[in-house]
Structure 1
Amino acid sequence: MLQVLDAAALRRWASAGVRALDANREAIDSINVYPVADGDTGTNLLVTMRSAEQALLAAEAEQGAGPAASALARGALAGARGNSGVILSQVLRGLAETWDGALAVSGSALRAALRRADELATAAVSEPVAGTVLSVLHAAALAAQDCGSDALDEVAGAAVRAAAQALADTPRQLAVLAERGVVDAGGRGLVVLLDELVGVVTGRVADHVVPERAAAVPAVRETGSDQYEYEVMYLLDGLADEDELRARLTGLGDSVVVAGDGAGLFSVHVHCNDVGAAIELGVERGRPHRIRVTRFADQRAARSGRAVVAVVAGEQAAELFRAEGAVVLAGEPTAAELLAVLERTGAAQVAVLPNSAELAQVAARAAEQAERAGQDVVVVPTASPVQGLAALAVHDPSRRPGDDVVAMAEAAAATRRGEVLVAQREAMTWVGRCQPGDVLGLVDGEVVLIEPGPAEGPGLLAAACQLVDRMVGVGGELVTVLLGHGAGAELGEGLAAHLRHSHPEVEITVYGGGQPDSALLIGVE
């Protein structure tokens, strides 16, 4: 257990922070939805922290906590990516200013440093918003201030616990986070770093007390309105009035951050349409250098080719879709998680197979966001994995994209979907009242038969045979069956034997699906 932080401890923290952000980068990118869901917050934080670590490692080895923190802050500001990176540089600057010249610092010094970091980060942003990383940082600073002990581990622990709670609260502060079922991406990154600091202090592996729902992407819009086409960033020497520059940049665009290192170097960040004016404001007020201009449309133009993304429950079913070339997203994702997968395909045109009626709206929201970023995304109406497999079977990348999507949609619509499951509660259905344990047969989402429980092998098989007879009786040549989790192979074999006897003209194929909620999924084409 460390009683103080020295240069060696800060080097360990910087290294651990880089590793943790690298491990969490994709997860953080995937929940970056405010105000535009084009996530690269995790990437920006990683690049910034890596720059900070490199600056510290290049500094003199025999230095105290104060000089080490100053090296971190300088490196972070010089290499800051996006406004989340600039804000992180201000957190590190708060440590540097508070610990100036100190060889080692205690819990009381950490408390003061977090308070200063809170002040600097808030001041750097032109329009601070509740429910973002600033709220998480503020909560950490207040908890450290209110901690009744000066012990380093207790101050650090109080800060990270409060930060984690504030992160969990961000959806209550920003409606877009609540709508997508995610926490703030920048706040999550900050909690990861604070958690690593606690790990260094206590000697325990950081557990990343981050609420769940919770390759670099160099040029996507992390924040701001999509009416602005460019991101402009540069370093600026000789700036006399940062507030005045911040106000002038706000007149040009949004996502404005102007932050310094305390020694005369500033990082400037803005989204705008008039690139020349943004740079001229820097020229008029100092010496801009390391100027970087990104046109958001260039990232969109870099996409090429086509992809199919399928949402699938059940590992065996997922393997079936992967074998057919689909990109698979497991479980019940949020729109932000699905959006992140769409982005990572790098494809210009994407067809989405939600494979669930309940996920259709989620897929539609993700597709809408992807369209705003320039990606052509179409949601094919598949309400079951069996319909998704039918659609994927006719997918032909050599066809025109529009024609291919039409063919997939027609194949899905031509596949009637059945399901055999066990009732979990008493309920009234179209064909009578069911009791817990009864076996239900559904066609296109409606209960059409009830086989009294208990739901053992004979009951499941009897219901499956009745259901497939009903479905094939109105026409069909091909039956596809997916066995659910816990359904034995004998169930599929029994159903196949029955169908060969009752409808020998029909072909049946049985696969393991592994879906958790249905004993059988049946598709009839």
Structure 2
Amino acid sequence: MRLTGYPPRVVPAHEPVLDAALFVRWVAAAAEGLERHCAEIDRINVFPVADGDTGSNMLLTMRSAVAEAEPRDRRAPDLAAAVAKGALVGARGNSGVLLSQVLRGVADAVARGGDLGDALAAAATAARSAVSRPRPGTMLTVLDEAAAAAAGKELADAATAAADAAERAVRETTAQLPELARAGVVDAGGLGLYVVLDALAGLVTGRAPTETVPLPATTGRPPLRSREALVGEREGGSTDFEYEVMYLLDGVSSRAADALRDELDQLGDSVAVVGDGSGTWNVHVHCSDIGAVIEAGLAVGRPRRITVVRFADTPAPGAAPEPAGARFVKARAVLMVVTGSEIAQLAREAGADVLERGPDEPVEPAALAAAIAGTRARHVVLLPGESELTAVAERAAGMARRAGQDVVVVPTSSVLQALSALAVHDPHRRAGDDVVAMAEAAAGTRTAALMVAESEALTWVGRCEPGDVLGIADGEVVLIAPDLAVGALWLAHRMLTAGGEIVTALLGAGVDDSLGEGLAADLRRTHPEVDVVVHRGGQTDYPLVLGVE
């Protein structure tokens, strides 16, 4: 099945040369081609995640390359390398990262006087080595076929052969990848690469660019599945992962980049770590633990231009497409830093975005800034949940503000203060008034906790023995009890002497539910004016945390 609409080949008077000037013209023509086909490429995007953005990502990546070329002297010896680096730095998504390697391969060929076949072969090698788990039927397969077809040919013949081979390879992807076969589509990234190669063939032969998308190599065109079906069948291995994380690293060796790729492969999938040959690397991964991905980058360099996209925020089918370069999908969000999965689930159910960490796990400003970006909200209220994290939260907020988000840190010294602030959050209220209400709710929540003494010690209220239950408030021991049940009652009664309307109890890991039930029954009898709420908190440091507001 051939594409139609091409005029006869027009051979230039002189055989074209793969130089920087042609490279820049090619990049511009490819951007125009991707813009024409962007919507259709997005529509068939099912692998590795059906998030409908492959065409947009490739277009934005190519526009970044074009932008790098525009202010430069077309005779500059480093023009091609600069354009390729522009694509790397501006790469969006997995497809954009791989596309940047195609431009890098061409830029290297321009620098050494190589031909198109060499350029595509180098690009194929670089792109395949950058992906931790390559699969057939993807953009990599199309690139391999194009490189093989262009090998050993003069530029015009090589460009034509590469585009034609890419066209055939794109059709074949449906039968090579089960995810594509089920959806009845060709690979979106491979189709985008075909558009890019077809743009070069048009430049060097004079043939018109394609207006027809390659069909699957089957009898007729299978009916395209709806976007709802595609999103519901995220088959690329990313159904278990919530976020797409990308960042840049500078001054990193190839060995360190390889080690980073291996580590990220343990944290998620769709891993790609690609470089420009001068120590700059673009990192891409689908994951759930944003902090761990950022920390892996911090171990080898300093991540910058961190972007996080949550797959759940993918625009609904039929919704108006997000403008190119737009970053926000909602106006407001509240981000909480929490310890433990049970508290994390509680916060999410209450409407918060969450950065979950392990017990005693440090929180880096870069990881927190990435989580802020991951909310994709224009205005974010950040609840650190610990006094020690306030300074880190302010640093992360500053990073996010420089990236264009409006972030306000509401100091919270405990998770219960954060939950109190979240409870009064009203997204329909004016943002400034909402922040004031949340800050007042947090400040009006008094917290205390129980812990079990591990050794003999002298406290402000007397000597404790191992196994005694200690009531802690404002960092000091305020009571000593024989067991948790008695300690919970004593501590709650002590806190209510200053008044209160709501008592919230968080049960720690391994604590029986009967502790909360007994506390609630006693308070309802002795303080009928008080509402009692008991949750499983899952914290490992305190068997019980109490809040009074």
Deviation at 1:172, TM superposition (A): 1.3
> Which residue of structure 1 aligns with residue 311 of structure 2?
296
2:44 matches 1:31: yes
Query: 1:496-511 to 2 correspondence within 5 Å?
Result: none
Name 2:155's counterpart in structure 1: 152
Alpha carbons of structure 1 residues 61 and 35: separation in structure 2 relative to 1, 3 Å? closer
Letter in 2 for 1:21: L
Aligned residue in 2 for 1:122:
128
Flag structure 1 segments of 5+ consecutive residues without an equivalent.
215-219, 304-339, 349-525
Q: How far apart in 1 are the matches of 2:103 and 2:235?
A: 21
The Cα of 1:111 is off from its aligned counterpart by 1.0
User: Which residue pairs with 1:168 in the alignment?
Assistant: 171
What's the counterpart of residue 437 of structure 1? none
Distance 2:279 2:204 in 1: 32
Shift of 1:155: 1.1
Give 3-state SS (helix, strand or coil) of 1:112's partner: helix
Cα distance in 1 for partners of 2:39, 2:192 equals: 11
Match of 1:69 among 64, 67, 80: 80
Q: Give the Å deviation of 1:224.
A: 4.6
- Greater shift, 31-40 or 109-118, is seen at 31-40
How many Å separate the matches in 1 of 2:30 and 2:72? 18
User: 1:32–1:222: 8 Å Cα contact kept in structure 2?
Assistant: no
Change (3 A) 1:265 1:189: same
d(CA) in 2 for partners of 1:69, 1:208: 28
Q: Which position in structure 2 is the counterpart of 1:9?
A: 22
SS of aligned partner of 2:308 = strand
AA of the residue aligned to 1:125: V
Tell me the residue number matched to 1:137.
143
Secondary structure at 1:32 match in 2: coil
- 1:195 is displaced (CA, Å) by 0.3
Paired amino acid for 1:74: K
Determine if contact 2:145/2:169 at 8 Å carries over to the other structure: yes
Per-residue CA deviation, residues 213-242 of structure 1 (Å, 9 max, x unaligned), is 57xxxxx99965121111111000122222
Query: Structure 1 residue 253 and structure 2 residue 268: aligned?
Result: yes
CA contact (8 A) 1:94 1:113 kept: yes
Q: For the structure 1 residues 3 and 44, does the alpha-carbon distance in structure 2 shift closer, same or farther, using more than 3 Å as the test? A: same
For residue 270 of structure 1, what is the aligned residue in structure 2?
285
Return the offset for 1:342: 6.7
The aligned counterpart of 1:413 is none
Measure how far apart 1:101 and its partner are.
5.4
1:100 counterpart residue number:
111
Q: Return the alpha-carbon distance in structure 2 between the equivalents of residues 167 and 278 of structure 1.
A: 32
Which of these residues, 48, 53, 61, is aligned with residue 40 of structure 1? 53
The 5-angstrom pairing of residues 465-476 of structure 1 reads none
Q: CA deviation at 1:179?
A: 2.1
Separation in 2, partners of 1:343, 1:208: 24
The residue that corresponds to 1:238 in the other structure is 251
Query: Aligned partners of 1:345 and 1:13: how far apart in 2?
Result: 27
**3-state SS of the aligned residue for 2:137?**
coil
Identity of aligned residues (%): 51
In the TM superposition, residue 182 of structure 1 has moved relative to its aligned partner by 1.0
Q: Which residue of 1 aligns with 2:326?
A: none
State the distance in 1 between where 2:236 and 2:61 align.
17
Instruction: Please list the CA deviations of residues 488-512 of structure 1 after superposition, one character each: whole Å capped at 9, or x if unmatched.
Output: xxxxxxxxxxxxxxxxxxxxxxxxx
**1:225 paired residue number:** 238
Superposition CA RMSD, Å:
2.7
Q: Is residue 59–residue 71 contact of structure 1 (8 Å, CA) maintained in 2?
A: no
**Alpha carbons of structure 1 residues 121 and 18: separation in structure 2 relative to 1, 3 Å:** same
Assess, with a 3 A threshold, how the Cα gap between structure 1 residues 144 and 54 changes in structure 2: closer, same or farther. same
2:84–2:100: 8 Å Cα contact kept in structure 1? yes
Distance 1:295 1:122 in 2: 26
Equivalent residues in 2 for 1:323-342, closer than 5 Å = 341=318
Task: Please tell me whether the aligned partners of residues 191 and 209 of structure 1 are also in contact (alpha carbons under 8 angstroms).
Answer: no
Q: Equivalent residue of 1:100, what SS? A: helix
- The residue type paired with residue 60 of structure 2 is V
Cα shift at 1:14? 1.4
**Structural mapping, 1:446-457, within 5 Å:** none
Q: Which residue of 1 aligns with 2:471?
A: none
User: Do 1:44 and 1:80's aligned partners in 2 also have CA atoms closer than 8 Å?
Assistant: yes
Q: Displacement of 1:208 after TM fit? A: 5.3
Give 1:476's aligned residue: none
2:180 equivalent to 1:177:
yes
One-letter amino acid matched to 1:262: G
Structure 1 distance, partners of 2:146, 2:84, is 19
Answer yes or no: is the 8 Å Cα contact 1:191–1:208 preserved in 2: no
| 2:436 alignment partner in structure 1 | none
| Alpha-carbon shift at residue 178 of structure 1 (Å) | 1.8
User: How many angstroms does 1:209 deviate by?
Assistant: 6.5
How big is the shift at 1:58?
A: 2.5
Alpha carbons of structure 1 residues 208 and 244: separation in structure 2 relative to 1, 3 Å: farther
- Where 1:287 maps in the other structure, the secondary structure is coil
TM-fit CA distance, 1:345: 11
Aligned to 1:84: 95
Given that 2:170 and 2:187 are in contact with CA atoms closer than 8 Å, whether structure 1 keeps it comes out as yes
Q: Flag the 1:173–1:184 CA change in 2: closer, same or farther, 3 A.
A: same
Check conservation: 1:192, 1:210, Cα contact below 8 A.
Answer: no
CA contact (8 A) 1:39 1:222 kept: no
Structure 1 residue 13: Cα displacement = 1.3
TM-score normalised by the chain length of structure 2: 0.51
Indicate yes or no: 2:201 matched with 1:198: yes
In 1: Cα distance, 2:98 partner to 2:274 partner: 8
- CA–CA distance in 2 between the matches of 1:222 and 1:269? 18
SS of equivalent residue, structure 1 residue 290: strand
* Distance (Å, rounded) in 1 between the aligned partners of 2:195 and 2:98: 15
Contact 2:24 2:80 in 1 (8 A): no
**CA–CA distance in 1 between the matches of 2:158 and 2:252?**
36
Aligned-residue offset at 1:247: 0.7
CA distance in 2, matches of 1:288, 1:115: 30
Letter aligned with residue 96 of structure 2: G
Match of 2:298 among 283, 304, 317: 283
- In the superposition, relative to structure 1, how do residues 69 and 288 fare at CA in structure 2: closer, same or farther (>3 Å)? same
- Kept in 2: contact 1:41–1:222 (CA 8 A): no
Aligned equivalent of 1:369: none
Other structure's SS at 1:85 match: helix
Unaligned runs of 5+ in 2: 1-11, 222-230, 324-328, 331-549
**Deviations 1:438-469, CA, capped at 9 Å, x for gaps:** xxxxxxxxxxxxxxxxxxxxxxxxxxxxxxxx
Aligned to 1:20: 33
Question: Could you list the per-position Cα deviations for residues 12-60 of structure 1 after superposition, in whole angstroms to 9, with x for gaps in the alignment?
Answer: 2111111110110000001111243222100000000000111122222
Q: TM-score, structure 1 length as denominator?
A: 0.53
What code does the residue aligned with 2:297 have? G
1:112 matched to which residue of 2?
Answer: 118
Q: Deviations over 1:77-115 (max 9, x none)?
A: 10000010000011111112232254xx6xxx1111111
Q: Distance in 1 between matches of 2:274 and 2:310?
A: 23
Distance 1:343 1:248, change over 3 A: farther
1:41–1:185 Cα contact (<8 Å) kept: yes
